[in-house]
Structure 1
Amino acid sequence: MDVVCLEAERKFSLATPVEKALNFDMKAAGEKRKLQLHKLEEMHLHACESSKFYKSKVKSYHDRKIVQRNFQPGQQVLLFNSRLRLFLRKLKSKWSGPFVIKSVKHYGAVEFEEPNSGRSWMVNGQRITPYLGGEVEKLTIVIHLNDPRLSEVSS
């Protein structure tokens, strides 16, 4: 006989009568397995329902956060540069532009062009904002300071 068969026979002979009855009662084992499968299926369906509910809540939350913007061709806009990671500077602006809108496509896509070079490309409408002004007035103050050491030397 095979070694595996001998080992199985030895374990079976050491088993209690209750274990022997449970192992040989195929109908009871089948029913128990069916109950386990039904419980597993019920847990799976509950998990799917919970996942769908969570996804719908998150989608509605994010859809509320989307701002509807209406752009017209010829309007000036600024582009948000989200890939500005190479030169981390506190005072460097993340907005570039102004650019002129060439056309507005469906679902928020906007084609615009750079006025100086005439180069045009498409971007997501959520990355742009209207450009509201022209040149910004810069106020500069010049204060002339006298060096106290120079005034002592000349006197």
Structure 2
Amino acid sequence: MEMESVGRCQKLDIQELEEIRNDAYENALVYKEKMKEFHDKLITRKQFSIGQKVLLYDSTLKIFTVEIQSEETQKCFKVNGQRLKPFYENFQTHTIEEIDLEEPRT
């Protein structure tokens, strides 16, 4: 008689563990979806036009491919679009005034 009650108790415990595991799995999916939405909001959408000069940095990833053409060699190649920045030709530097600080008098 005890074997049957112990067996039923173990069966209930296993079912309860299964439910807890399923709940944890569903919670993990919800968390991943929310984090993906949050991350996608932070991605900046860049608009480039044909003929626009761009700067390319660290183009090892090939996720969002964009075809660009080199100005010197006229070769076309595909790069990751997230690794492009607009190039500003007439970027002017500003002069900075330097002020020497003196030691306080005692």
Q: Which structure carries more helix by proportion?
A: 1
* CA displacement at 1:25 relative to structure 2: 2.8
| 1:109 CA drift (Å) | 2.3
What residue number does 1:67 align with? 44
- Corresponding residue SS for 2:74: coil
1:129 aligns with 2:85: yes
Q: Distance in 2 between matches of 1:135 and 1:116?
A: 21
Give unpaired runs (5+ residues) of structure 1.
Answer: 1-23, 84-106, 140-155
Normalising by structure 2, what TM-score? 0.72
Give the deviation of 1:45 after TM superposition: 1.2
Mapped to 1, the partners of 2:76 and 2:38 lie a distance apart of 33
- Would you say how many aligned residue pairs link Structure 1 and Structure 2? 92
Distance 2:79 2:5 in 1: 65
Q: Identify the residue that residue 118 of structure 1 maps to in structure 2.
A: 74
1:1-155 to 2 correspondences below 5 Å: 25-81=2-58, 108-134=64-90
CA distance in 1, matches of 2:91, 2:73: 20
* Structure 2: runs of 5+ lacking an equivalent: 96-106
Instruction: Give the partner amino acid of 1:62.
Output: H
Which 4+ residue blocks in structure 1 deviate beyond 6 angstroms? Answer: none
Provide TM-score, normalisation by structure 1.
Answer: 0.51
Q: 1:26: how far off? A: 2.8
Assess, with a 3 A threshold, how the Cα gap between structure 1 residues 61 and 129 changes in structure 2: closer, same or farther.
Answer: same
Q: State which structure, 1 or 2, has the greater radius of gyration over its C-alpha atoms.
A: 1
Change (3 A) 1:132 1:108: same
Amino acid at match of 1:35: L
Output the CA distance in 1 between the equivalents of 2:70 and 2:13: 66
- Percentage identity across aligned positions? 34
Instruction: Flag the structure with more relative contact order, 1 or 2, with Cα contacts below 8 A and sequence separation at least 6.
Output: 2
Superposition RMSD in Å:
2.6
Matching residue's letter, 2:30:
F
Q: Structure 2 vs 1, CA of residues 26 and 118 (structure 1 numbering), >3 Å: closer, same or farther?
A: same
Structure 1 residue 136, shift from structure 2 partner? 6.3
